[in-house]
Copies of this chain bind each other. A is one copy, B any other.
Amino acid sequence: MEKVATVRVLFADTDAMGIVYYANYLKWFEMGRVELMRRLGMEYRELTGTGIHLPVTEVSVRYLSPARYDDLLAIHTEIRKCKRASIAFGYRIEREDGVLLAKGETVHAFTDGDGKIVRIPEPFLEKTGFRQPLS
């Protein structure tokens, strides 16, 4: 998996238990997949510009150790699967000292603006190098 971004934990991310609220890891997953796609030469903003959306259809997270205020976190992301009309990303959130805090996966559908499932677009395949597994 590739380290694609780092974030500093704000009070905004924490809750009254003194740790990061569990929903906030999903924002960091979004940051991870957006930055990974940017590195692969496919900006998500361009993709939506062509009328293609990637709504999340599934998410799962395992929380191993809590992140706390002011922790510096590394977001690691990879593309796990790429099918005709869906894509899966994997994530690892690590603390500065290398401790794994959470890992997860999201699955996304390729849809048009009306939410109708469409085939994965050609430029996407080309730029991400996933043409092979689909043939």
Contact = CB atoms under 8 A, between A and B. Distances in A.
B10 A34 contact: yes
Contacts of A62: 57-58
A124 interface: no
Contacts of A22: 26, 56, 59, 106
A39 to B, nearest CB: 13
A110 B43 CA distance: 33
Contact of A12 (B21, B55, B115): B21
15 contacts: A10-B27, A12-B21, A12-B26, A14-B15, A15-B15, A16-B18, A16-B19, A16-B68, A17-B55, A22-B26, A22-B106, A23-B24, A26-B26, A44-B70, A59-B61
Interface of A: 8, 10-12, 14-19, 21-24, 26-27, 30-31, 34, 43-45, 53, 55-63, 66, 68-70, 106, 115
